[in-house]
Chain A
């Protein structure tokens, strides 16, 4: 193959603070191929796409599009170079019609330019027919289903004459029939000489559709292979196949007492159904799964943010009703949320107030503020968790991500909970703080807490957990023993070739 690639990345690096998202990734896309991009959550797929669409400026490396080398792309140069991206969530204007949305994408901009309504409609109809759409160009986008909106996105990509089409998990909400249609469109694009970067967690699709596969792991490319040369087990091995790079604190025998027991709990509103498991006091129960598998949703159910509408939650043997976060707090269930900037810490408040926010019984004994006690508690946790801050009065927003996370954890330790749910506690945290958090989590378990640890970081969940629950599609798909192999967890996470129904 001497055809020059449509798009090539050469040694792309990109860091966010202390997190090295891409560490020298090279990748090339040839005309007339479907190139699958694989990797677990956080392997760097999204970052790589954003570099290609011009949303991120890489720290190093080069991007070659056609004949030209760029240090970075901007959204407009990416579009001009024929790069189009179809995201999981279509980014259309819901109040405009399909034709108007297509017009906005495809027609030259200009505030005073006249709109050629007829031409716009004709063009839209033509494009929609090209992707086999069965809805009118005059339909409002808000009335379309998710797969239909996706078709509009694809039509826009084709209409813009894109030669490089990136598809980010396009089939995650499609029925089998819609998926077949999508595959048809992808193959047609390929046969017309375009290159398609295809991202999916469904390994069987890779075999069906892709010509080549590139596997990313920890921000590095593990390699590029011909799709028919690797089978799904081999791919799983490539995605996770590494020795645990860090030492995790040793597991301790848990006590016999059950801390929290979940019996058939579910909540239709957030799509969690029939979840049963028990966590002993002193045990760390890991929850693995893909993004969207229902782990955070389950945590929200247990914390009362979306109260359970089925099943039962038992604390130390007693059935309790968790109807709100206040009730959860009263029963000693603590939840450190994933999005610490929005939920975990109040960035404008001082560190001290953040730490004591849930522990009002302690700093407002009989209702009156005990400022000395507040300061004492804040200083105690700043020391115990080694929170790096200019002082208890510094605003939480001035702290680094890892230290904000420690503040969020400290808030819940200050109320002396019985059950601690941690949602991605080390995401976006640098290596040093990560190890400190791991040590801390184990120490907490040893004091008799039942810990539920949600993490997308496979080594972390394997290294930390005494048992690992795997969630898939809002259900608990299985429970693995601690120390299970990464491949076993990944296999359970991805599941068999079963299909979801229409979204």
Chain B
């Protein structure tokens, strides 16, 4: 993980011992293993090898929703917060979209726009309790985690599934545009937006300071409440976007959409090197974390042993958990090792900077 380098470590060491390098190596190993052992059939029943382009697009298509949730969670976790409700908001928004289009008869793109607003409003509920009433994010979003899934169930009475969406809308989830799956473009735009926000705008700096020291941020005259609220509202809106893509990919909207996705998304963020205690983390790290999990999930489903046992979901959960623990341990290892050594204090005779 990135620490201010005070010593004069040679350039190659700084690159090799970076946490991100570890993730890239992991990704390559995963891919090679699945390339060697995994086979699969595509939707049309044709055998598709892991190395084919079509397979890569398949991975992209299936990882967009979790990826969007992970991107939404990165600013939240940077502020030392958490949002457990993102997947529930996704389910809620999928149902809202279905109702608006199917029952209320809105044009599909109007319904989509309204769904984004509904997602932002759902995030606003989290923001209200966390930024305004200063309640702990873990508990607040645990509440809204149940609340929004429950609302989705109530809106459909647990039975209705909305289908028959227009082809123009399904294009978003099932077709390609300029050579890439359409939703991959949406994902890229959102990733670029979050990267800009976190790494190039004032807001990102404030996220970090809040994560390190909310009191320190207040004493610096920063907009602590407003910025914290922004992170949660944004998470809600991005979850709504993920709901649209999810609906378009499967061609149906149900109340149980994306159950359990929040855990994969949080795992991706933390695996990507973002500290759950806030302050530290990068968007590229999150992207690598998403990639590691997406390839793992997709590849496991193609392993003959896993197919025989019909245990794709279970083995994905198992391996993701193990990966997370191993990656955290490896990431912490350099720090633990250096902590053992007696810490050398800052030398007294540091150069006094010359006046300009």
Complex A-B: 8 CB contacts under 8 Å: A348-B213, A348-B280, A353-B205, A357-B205, A358-B221, A364-B202, A368-B200, A386-B353
Docked-complex contact B4 and A395, CB < 8 angstroms = yes
Q: A305-B218, A367-B202, A368-B200 are in contact. Are A394 and B209 (CB under 8 A)?
A: no
Docked-complex contact B209 and A325, CB < 8 angstroms = no
- Chain A residues within 8 Å of B6, by CB: 390-391, 393-394, 398
- Best-surrounded residue of A328, A360, A411 (most CB of chain B within 10 A): A360
Per-residue contact bits, chain A 312-348, to B (CB 8 Å; 1 contact, 0 not): 0000000000000110110000010100001111111
Docked-complex contact A382 and B219, CB < 8 angstroms = no
Query: A450–B353 Cα gap in the complex (Å)?
Result: 28
Query: A116–B222 Cα gap in the complex (Å)?
Result: 55
Q: A325-B219, A349-B208 are in contact. Are A360 and B202 (CB under 8 A)?
A: yes
Docked-complex contact A329 and B221, CB < 8 angstroms = yes
Q: A364-B201, A383-B354 are in contact. Are A357 and B209 (CB under 8 A)?
A: yes
Residue of B nearest to A374 (CB): B205
Task: Tell me the smallest distance from the CB of B345 to a CB of chain A, in Å.
Answer: 9
Query: A323–B7 Cα gap in the complex (Å)?
Result: 44
B165 an interface residue at 8 Å Cβ cutoff?
no
A389 an interface residue at 8 Å Cβ cutoff?
yes
Task: Tell me the smallest distance from the CB of A393 to a CB of chain B, in Å.
Answer: 5
A369 an interface residue at 8 Å Cβ cutoff?
yes
A380 an interface residue at 8 Å Cβ cutoff?
yes
- Chain B residues within 8 Å of A369, by CB: 199-202, 205
Residue of B nearest to A388 (CB): B350
Q: From residue 360 to 414 of chain A, which have CB atoms closer than 8 A to chain B?
A: 360, 364, 367-369, 379-380, 382-384, 386-391, 393-395, 398-400, 411
Query: A393–B9 Cα gap in the complex (Å)?
Result: 14
18 extra A-B contacts, CB within 8 A, seeds A325-B221, A346-B220, A398-B6? A305-B219, A325-B220, A337-B219, A343-B219, A344-B216, A346-B216, A357-B220, A357-B222, A358-B221, A367-B201, A369-B205, A379-B353, A384-B356, A390-B346, A390-B350, A391-B6, A393-B6, A398-B346
- Chain A residues within 8 Å of B280, by CB: 348
Residue of B nearest to A342 (CB): B215
Task: Tell me the smallest distance from the CB of A253 to a CB of chain B, in Å.
Answer: 26
Docked-complex contact A383 and B222, CB < 8 angstroms = no
A448 an interface residue at 8 Å Cβ cutoff?
no
B32 an interface residue at 8 Å Cβ cutoff?
no
Docked-complex contact A358 and B220, CB < 8 angstroms = yes
Q: A326-B222, A390-B346 are in contact. Are A383 and B355 (CB under 8 A)?
A: yes
A350 an interface residue at 8 Å Cβ cutoff?
yes
- Chain A residues within 8 Å of B218, by CB: 305, 325
Residue of B nearest to A333 (CB): B221
B338 an interface residue at 8 Å Cβ cutoff?
no
Task: Tell me the smallest distance from the CB of B129 to a CB of chain A, in Å.
Answer: 20
Seen from chain A, the residues whose Cβ lies within 8 Å of a Cβ on chain B are: 305, 325-326, 328-329, 335, 337, 342-350, 353, 357-358, 360, 364, 367-369, 379-380, 382-384, 386-391, 393-395, 398-400, 411
Docked-complex contact B353 and A382, CB < 8 angstroms = yes
Docked-complex contact A348 and B212, CB < 8 angstroms = yes
- Chain A residues within 8 Å of B220, by CB: 325, 346, 357-358, 411
Task: Tell me the smallest distance from the CB of A346 to a CB of chain B, in Å.
Answer: 4
- Best-surrounded residue of B200, B201, B213, B223 (most CB of chain A within 10 A): B213
Docked-complex contact B200 and A383, CB < 8 angstroms = no
B124 an interface residue at 8 Å Cβ cutoff?
no
Docked-complex contact A384 and B209, CB < 8 angstroms = no
Docked-complex contact B209 and A349, CB < 8 angstroms = yes
Q: A305-B218, A388-B352, A395-B4 are in contact. Are A326 and B346 (CB under 8 A)?
A: no
- What 7 A-B pairs have minimum CB-CB distances, sorted nearest first? A329-B221, A325-B221, A343-B219, A390-B6, A383-B353, A346-B216, A364-B202
Seen from chain B, the residues whose Cβ lies within 8 Å of a Cβ on chain A are: 3-6, 199-202, 205, 208-209, 212-213, 215-223, 279-280, 346, 350, 352-356
- Chain A residues within 8 Å of B346, by CB: 390, 398-400
- Chain B residues within 8 Å of A388, by CB: 350, 352
Query: A388–B219 Cα gap in the complex (Å)?
Result: 23
Residue of B nearest to A348 (CB): B212
- Chain B residues within 8 Å of A387, by CB: 353
- Chain B residues within 8 Å of A384, by CB: 355-356
Residue of B nearest to A399 (CB): B346
- Chain B residues within 8 Å of A390, by CB: 6, 346, 350
Docked-complex contact A350 and B356, CB < 8 angstroms = no
Docked-complex contact B219 and A335, CB < 8 angstroms = yes
Query: A360–B3 Cα gap in the complex (Å)?
Result: 23
Q: Which listed residue, A325, A342, A360, touches B213 by the CB 8 Å rule?
A: A342
- Chain A residues within 8 Å of B202, by CB: 360, 364, 367, 369
Task: Tell me the smallest distance from the CB of A19 to a CB of chain B, in Å.
Answer: 16
- Best-surrounded residue of A345, A349, A358, A379 (most CB of chain B within 10 A): A349
Task: Tell me the smallest distance from the CB of A137 to a CB of chain B, in Å.
Answer: 36
Task: Tell me the smallest distance from the CB of B78 to a CB of chain A, in Å.
Answer: 12
Docked-complex contact A350 and B355, CB < 8 angstroms = no
Task: Tell me the smallest distance from the CB of B335 to a CB of chain A, in Å.
Answer: 13
Task: Tell me the smallest distance from the CB of B216 to a CB of chain A, in Å.
Answer: 4
- Chain B residues within 8 Å of A337, by CB: 219
Residue of B nearest to A382 (CB): B353
Task: Tell me the smallest distance from the CB of A307 to a CB of chain B, in Å.
Answer: 13
Residue of A nearest to B221 (CB): A329
- Chain A residues within 8 Å of B216, by CB: 342-346
Docked-complex contact B212 and A346, CB < 8 angstroms = yes
- Best-surrounded residue of B205, B217, B220, B279 (most CB of chain A within 10 A): B220
Query: A270–B223 Cα gap in the complex (Å)?
Result: 23
Docked-complex contact B219 and A386, CB < 8 angstroms = no
Task: Tell me the smallest distance from the CB of A154 to a CB of chain B, in Å.
Answer: 35
Query: A391–B8 Cα gap in the complex (Å)?
Result: 12
Query: A398–B4 Cα gap in the complex (Å)?
Result: 10
Query: A120–B212 Cα gap in the complex (Å)?
Result: 46
- Chain A residues within 8 Å of B215, by CB: 342-343
Query: A12–B208 Cα gap in the complex (Å)?
Result: 44
Q: A337-B219, A342-B213 are in contact. Are A386 and B352 (CB under 8 A)?
A: yes
Query: A326–B221 Cα gap in the complex (Å)?
Result: 4
Query: A325–B217 Cα gap in the complex (Å)?
Result: 10
Task: Tell me the smallest distance from the CB of B230 to a CB of chain A, in Å.
Answer: 14
Residue of B nearest to A389 (CB): B350
Residue of B nearest to A398 (CB): B346
Task: Tell me the smallest distance from the CB of A166 to a CB of chain B, in Å.
Answer: 32
Task: Tell me the smallest distance from the CB of B98 to a CB of chain A, in Å.
Answer: 37
Task: Tell me the smallest distance from the CB of A394 to a CB of chain B, in Å.
Answer: 5
Query: A360–B206 Cα gap in the complex (Å)?
Result: 10
Q: A349-B208, A353-B205 are in contact. Are A328 and B5 (CB under 8 A)?
A: no
Task: Tell me the smallest distance from the CB of B194 to a CB of chain A, in Å.
Answer: 15
Task: Tell me the smallest distance from the CB of A353 to a CB of chain B, in Å.
Answer: 7
Residue of A nearest to B218 (CB): A325
Query: A270–B356 Cα gap in the complex (Å)?
Result: 44
Residue of A nearest to B213 (CB): A346
- Best-surrounded residue of A326, A353, A411 (most CB of chain B within 10 A): A326
